Amino acid sequence: MMMYHESVLLHESIDLLGITPGGIYVDATFGGGGHSRLILEKMGGKGRLFAFDQDEDANRNTEQQEFSANPGFTFVPSNFRYLKRQLRAEGIRVGTVNGILADLGVSSHQLDTAERGFSYRFEAELDMRMSRLEGETAADLLNTRSSEELQRIFSEFGELRNSKTLAQAVIQEREKKRFRTTGDFLELCSKNLMGERMRYFSQAFQALRMEVNDELGALEDFMKDALEMLAPGGRLAIITFHSLEDRMVKHFMKTGNVEGEPDQDFYGNITKPWDLITRKPVEASAEETKQNTRSRSAKLRAASKN
Ligand SMILES: C[S@@+](CC[C@H](N)C(=O)[O-])C[C@H]1O[C@@H](n2cnc3c(N)ncnc32)[C@H](O)[C@@H]1O
C-alpha cells in the first residue's frame, strides 16, 4: 500500500510539546497520523488526544490504522479553524489543553491522489479542496475571480514575478473556454512561464491551493483559538512550509496577533501572551532533507502560554 505521508520534523516537534501522561493534546493536522502516533506513545495510555483533519481521506485512514480503537483518541472531522468550538463540543473547557501541534499544508497522499487535482503531475479535474464537502474549486476560482484578485493570489501565495501577466492570460483564456482540468491551467502556465519550469508550475499550483482552502485565514483563526484553549504553560508547536505562514506564526508567538503589533493591556503595559521556546525556527537535519525533499522548506516554531 502507498505510504500516506512521511512525517516531517517528527521527533523535534513532539519533543517541543513536552508531553506528560494524563494531559489533553491536539494534533490539528492528522494526515497520515505519524505525529499522532508518537504523541499517543508519549502519553503512555493516559489522557486524551484530539486529532483534527478536514479531509475525509484522513478520517478513513484512522480506521485503517486502528487509531479509533484507542480509547484516549478522538478524531474530529473538521477544519482546525473551529478548534475552540469543536473542543468545547467534546466537553473540553477553555484554558485546559496541554499541547497543540499543527503540521500545515497538504499530505503526500493528497498530492499523489491524481483526482484531487492538487498536482500538475496528473491530469484531473482542477479541484484542490482539502474538504470536498464544501467550497469553491480551483477551477471555479480561475473562472470567476477578477484579474486583480488573481494577480494578488499569484503574487502573494505563489511569489510569481509575472503574476499580472498570468492573471491577464487567465481572463483571456476563459473567454474562449472555461478552466476545468489541471492540464488546462498547466498549458496556460507553460505559455507564460518565467524562470525554472517545474518551480513555476509548483508555485502557481500552490498559490491556487492556498486560496481555495483559505490557508492563511484558517491559520489565524486556529492560533487565536489555540491561545484560548491552552492551559497556562501549555504549548503550541507549528510546522510551516511557506514564508507567509512562518511570518504569521512568528508574529503571533511574539505578540498574540499575526501583524506582530505589540498589544497593550488596560494600563498600557505591553502584553506577552507567550514565552518563546524556539527563538529561531527549527529546520530539518541534512539527513532528513536528503530522505524527504518536502522537509527542506519546513520551519518549526514553538511557544508556551503565559
Ligand atoms: C502535512 S499533512 C499532516 C501530516 C501528519 N502530521 C503526519 O505525520 O502524517 C497536513 C494535513 O492537514 C490537513 N489540513 C490542512 N489544513 C487543515 C485545516 N485548516 N483544518 C483541518 N485539517 C487541515 C490536510 O488535510 C492534511 O491531511
Per-residue pLDDT reduced to its tens digit, 160-200: 999 999 999 999 999 999 999 999 999 999 999 999 999 99
Residue 58 identity (one-letter amino acid): A
Edge-to-edge strand order for the sheet containing 299-305? 73-76, 48-52, 24-27, 97-103, 230-240, 299-305, 274-276
pLDDT digit string (tens) for 232-255?
A: 999 999 999 999 999 999 999 999
Instruction: Give the domains, in start order, of the chain with CATH numbers.
Output: 10-109+215-305 (3.40.50.150), 131-212 (1.10.150.170)
pLDDT digit string (tens) for 56-82?
A: 999 888 777 789 889 999 999 999 999
Distance (angstroms) between ligand 1 centre and the Cα of 29 equals 4
Mean pLDDT of 77-101: 98
Residues 6+ apart with CB under 8 A from 224: none
Distance (angstroms) between ligand 1 centre and the Cα of 110 equals 10
Give, for ligand 1, the residue of 17, 76, 130, 206 to mutate: max count of ligand atoms closer than 8 Å to Cβ: 130
Element (H, E) at 75: strand 73-76
Is residue 163 in contact with ligand 1, taking CB distance under 6 Å?
no
Angle, CA of 84, 85 and 87, to the nearest 5°? 65
For residues 90 and 226, is the Cβ–Cβ distance under 8 A? no
What's this model's pTM, rounded to 2 decimal places?
0.97
Distance (angstroms) between ligand 1 centre and the Cα of 30 equals 6
What is the pairing mode between strands 299-305 and 24-27?
unpaired
Cell digits of residue 272: 506577552
Distances (CA, A) of 91 to 11, 150, 276: 29, 42, 29
